[in-house]
Amino acid sequence: MIKKYLAGTKNIFKTIDWKLLIFLLMFLNVKLVMKLAALVCIYFFRPGFKFQFRFRNSRLPLFYLLVIGIALINYCITAGFAIPNYTITFLIGIGFWIFSILAIHQIKLSVEGNEPRVIHKTIYIFFIINTIVSVITFLIIIWQTKTLNPYLYQGQYQKYFIGTGDYIKGISFDTSTTNAVLNGFGVIYFLQRKQAAMALLCMIILLMTGSNVINIIVSLVLLFMFIFQSDKIQKSLIAICYFLLIVFMTKISPQNNNYMVNFFNNFFDKGINVHKNILQSDIKKLPDSSLTPEERRQKIAMLYLDSMTFLENEKQNFIGSHTLAIPVNLSLPVDDINSPQFQHKSFVTPVEQNMFHFIDAHSSALPMSADILFHAKYPGKIIAWKQTLNYFKQHPSKIITGTGIGNFSSKLAFKTTALDIAGSYPEKYKYISHDFLANHLDVYLYFFSKEDGLHSITNSPGSVYDWLLSEYGIIGLLAFFLFYIGFFIKKLNLFSYSIPCILLLSAILFFDYWFEQLSIIIFFELLIFLNMKEKVNRL
C-alpha cells in the first residue's frame, strides 16, 4: 500500500514542470531582485537565447523589439545622452524590456518542451499555492480582529473593514489587484476546462481581494463567455460565480457596493456631491474616507448625540434601579461602535510625507496638487487621459514616437522621482521630466496626498495604453495592437479560453503599467502559448 502511494506521488511530481513553477513563483514576486534571481536561475538550468524574432512567423511577439527601437530613436532625437540621470533612466527602461523578452522566451521554452498536460498540472499547482497563501493571510486577519468577517469589522480605527482585501496579496506579495487579476485569469482558464472546484476557488480568492474594478471586468468577460463560449455545465458555473459576487457585495462587504455606487455617481454627475441621497443612518455606517467634509461633520454630530443619549439613558437606568430597588439583569459589555477605536483614522505615511514636501517645493509647477481650492470633477484616470491628449495638441510633433522612456506616463517615471511611490530609488540619480511633473505626477499627488478614500485605482493615472501613446507615440500603440495582440489572435482557436483572456487583459491594461510590473503579463503569455500548442496538437 505504501509503495503504491509513493509511486503515485512520484508520478504526480513527474507531471509538473518544476523549473517553470519555481520561475513563476519567483518572477511574479513584487521584489525586482527576486525577478532578477528568477531569470538567473532558470537560464542557469535551462540556457538558450534563440529568440527567433521575425517579421513573418516570428516565434515571439515582435512588439518587444519594436518598442526598444522606438525608445532608441527617441533617445537620439531628444539628445537624452546629454543628461546623465536621464541616461540611467533610459537604461533602466530598456532593462525592463529585456527582462520581458528573457521571461517570455523561457515561458515559450516550457510550453515547447512539455506536453500540455504537464503545463496544465503546473498551472493547477501554482493556483493551489496562491490560494493557500491568500487563505493564510485571511486567517491571520481573522485572528487579529477576532471576527469571522473582517470586511464588516470597524475596530482598530477601521484598519481592515473596506480595505481588508488590500491585504490579500497572494503569492506575489504585490498589490491585491495583482492577485485579483491572476485569479481572474484562473476563473476563465478553469471554467473553459470545466474544473469546477478550481474555477470557484479562484472566484472566491478574487472576491476576497475586494477589487471592485477587476470584479466588474471579470463579470463582463464571464457574460461574454455565458453568451458565446459555454455549454450547460459552464453556464451553471458562471451563474454560481455571479451568485458568489452578489453575496460578497451585499452580505460580506456591502460597503464596497456603496463605494462603487459613489464612484459611478461621481463620474456621471461630474463631481456633484454624490452623497446627497445618503440617509443619516447610512452616514454613521460609512467610513470617513468615503464621505464628503460636510457628511463627516454630520457623522461626528450624530455620533456625539448618540453618545449623549446613551449616557443619559444609562444615568436614568442607574437612578431608576437605585430608587425603585428593582433587580436589574446584568449583561456582558459589548463594543461601543461609536467609540474612537471604531472610527477611521488617517495615518500619514513616510511616502505621503515625501509628497507633502515635494508639493511645497514644486508648487509653481503643480496646478492641481498645490492648489488647495482645486476640486477635481473627474476621476484621476480620466484627467490623465485628458492631459495626454492636450499635450499632443500642443506638441503635435511628439505624437509619432512619443516623449521617450520615463518622460510622461510610466511606472519608471514615478520610480525615478525618488519619492518611493513605485519603489525606492537613489536620490542622487533622480530624474523628473517637466512634462511628467506638470501632468501625470500632478494628478497622482493631488489624489494620493489626500484622504485614504481617494487612493484608488480609478484615481491613479497608470494605464498601458496611456503609457504607450505618451512615451512611444502612435507607432508604439500600433505596434502593440498589430505585433502583440495581433500576434496571438491570428494563431488562436477562437473558441478557446484565449479569447476571454485577451478580453480580460485588454480591459485591465487601462488600469496600470502592467508591462513594467513584470507579473501578470508573463502569466497571460503562458496561458496563450499553451492554448496555441493545444490547437496545433489537435490539427
Predicted pLDDT of residue 11: 56
Higher model confidence: residue 532 or residue 286? 532
**Long-range contacts, stretch 20-24, CB < 8 angstroms, 24+ apart:** 20/106, 20/107, 20/110, 20/114, 20/119, 20/122, 20/526, 21/122, 21/125, 21/126, 23/106, 23/110, 24/122, 24/126, 24/522, 24/523, 24/526
pLDDT at 134: 96
Whether 350 contacts 420, CB under 8 Å: yes
Q: Can you give 409-476 as a three-state secondary structure string?
A: CCHHHHHCCCCCECECCCHHHCCCCHHHHCCHHHHHHHHHCCCHHHCCCCCCCCCHHHHHHHHHHHHH
pLDDT of residue 3: 55
> Residue 218 is placed in which grid cell?
471579470
Mean pLDDT calculated for residue range 202-219:
94
- Which of the pair, 258 or 319, is modelled with greater confidence? 258
pLDDT at 278 over 50: no
Q: Which three cell numbers stand for residue 390?
A: 492636450
Predicted pLDDT of residue 274: 36
Q: What is the pLDDT of residue 163?
A: 83
Count of domains forming the chain:
1
**pLDDT confidence band for 467 (50 / 70 / 90):** very high
The answer to the question of residue 305 being in a domain is yes
d(CA 207, CA 241): 10
DSSP state of 148: S
Mean pLDDT on 71-99: 93
Round to whole Å and give the CA distance between 411 and 433.
13
pLDDT above 70 covers a percentage of the chain that reads: 78
- 124 located within any domain: no
Question: What does the pLDDT read at residue 340?
Answer: 53
Environment class of 285 (CB within 10 Å of its CB; exposed 0-12, middle 13-18, buried 19+) = middle
For the ranges 6-20, 120-134, 195-209, 260-274, the lowest mean pLDDT is seen at 260-274
Please tell me the distance from the alpha carbon of residue 414 to that of residue 431, in angstroms, as a whole number: 9
Closest CA to 487 of 95, 51, 64, 119: 64
Mean pLDDT of 251-256: 82
Of the candidates 278, 288, 276, 304, the one whose C-alpha atom is nearest the C-alpha of residue 161 is 288
Confidence of residue 344 (pLDDT cuts 50, 70, 90): low
Task: Determine which of 30-44, 142-156, 251-265 has the lowest per-residue pLDDT on average.
Answer: 251-265
Is it the case that residue 276 has pLDDT exceeding 60? no
**Model confidence pLDDT, tens digit, residues 492-513:** 766 678 899 999 999 999 999 9
Nearest CA-CA partner of 161 in 145, 183, 182, 180: 145
43 CB-near residues (< 8 Å, 6+ apart) = 102, 106
**How does residue 287 score in pLDDT terms, banded at 50, 70 and 90?**
low
What b/e string do you get for 300-314 counting C-beta neighbours within 10 Å, with b at 16 or more? eeebeeeeeeeeeee
Question: What mean pLDDT is predicted for residues 304-329?
Answer: 54
Question: Is residue 5's pLDDT more than 50?
Answer: no
Q: Is 295 part of any domain? A: yes
- The span from the CA of 448 to the CA of 366, in Å, is 14
Distance CA 502, CA 219 (A): 14
Cell numbers describing residue 23: 520561475
Single-letter amino acid, residue 335: D
pLDDT band at 309 (very low <50, low <70, confident <90, very high): low
pTM of the shown model: 0.83
Phi then psi for residue 302, to 5 deg, are -65, -40
Task: Please report whether residue 303 resides in a domain.
Answer: yes
Classify residue 306: in a domain, yes or no.
yes
Residue 224 has pLDDT above 70, yes or no: yes
Averaged confidence pLDDT in the chain: 84
* Domain contains 404: no
1 confidence band (pLDDT: 50, 70, 90):
low
Give the pLDDT band (50/70/90) at residue 100: very high
Residue 431: which residues within 8 A CB-CB, separation 6 or more? 83, 85, 86, 88, 89, 406, 416
Percent of the chain scored above 90 by pLDDT?
A: 58
pLDDT(525) > 50 = yes
Residue with cell 458568489: 244
What SS3 class is residue 368?
coil
For residue 250, the 8-state DSSP code is I
Q: What is the pLDDT of residue 261?
A: 64
Do 186 and 175 form a contact (C-beta atoms < 8 A)?
Answer: no
Q: Are 180 and 187 in contact (CB under 8 A)?
A: no
CA–CA separation, 184 vs 514, rounded Å? 15
The DSSP annotation for 467-517 comes to HHHHHHHHHHHHHHIIIIIHHHHTTS-TTSTHHHHHHHHHHHTTSS-HHHH
Domain housing 307: 290-324+337-342
Q: Where are the alpha helices (DSSP H) in 113-151?
A: 116-145
Whether the predicted pLDDT of 241 surpasses 80: yes
Beta partners for residue 435, in sequence order: none
Residue 506 lies in a domain: no
- Burial string for 209-224 (b: 16+ CB within 10 Å, else e) reads bbbbbbbebbeebbee
349: pLDDT confidence band, cut at 50, 70 and 90?
A: confident
In the predicted model, is pLDDT for residue 162 greater than 50?
Answer: yes
Phi, psi of 15 (to 5 degrees): -90, 15
Query: Residue 281: what pLDDT?
Result: 46
pLDDT of 2 > 50? The answer is: yes
pLDDT, tens digit (0-9, with 9 covering 90-100), for 376-432: 888 999 999 999 999 999 999 999 999 999 999 999 999 999 998 888 899 999 999
| pLDDT value, residue 312 | 59
- CB-based contacts of 96, cutoff 8 Å, min separation 6: 412, 515, 516, 518
Beta bridge partners of 423: 421
pLDDT of residue 306: 58
- 130-144, 302-316, 356-370: least confidently modelled range: 302-316
Domain-embedded: residue 300: yes
Residue 40: pLDDT over 80:
yes
Element holding 294 (H helix, E strand): helix 293-324
Residue 411 CA to residue 513 CA, distance in Å, equals 6
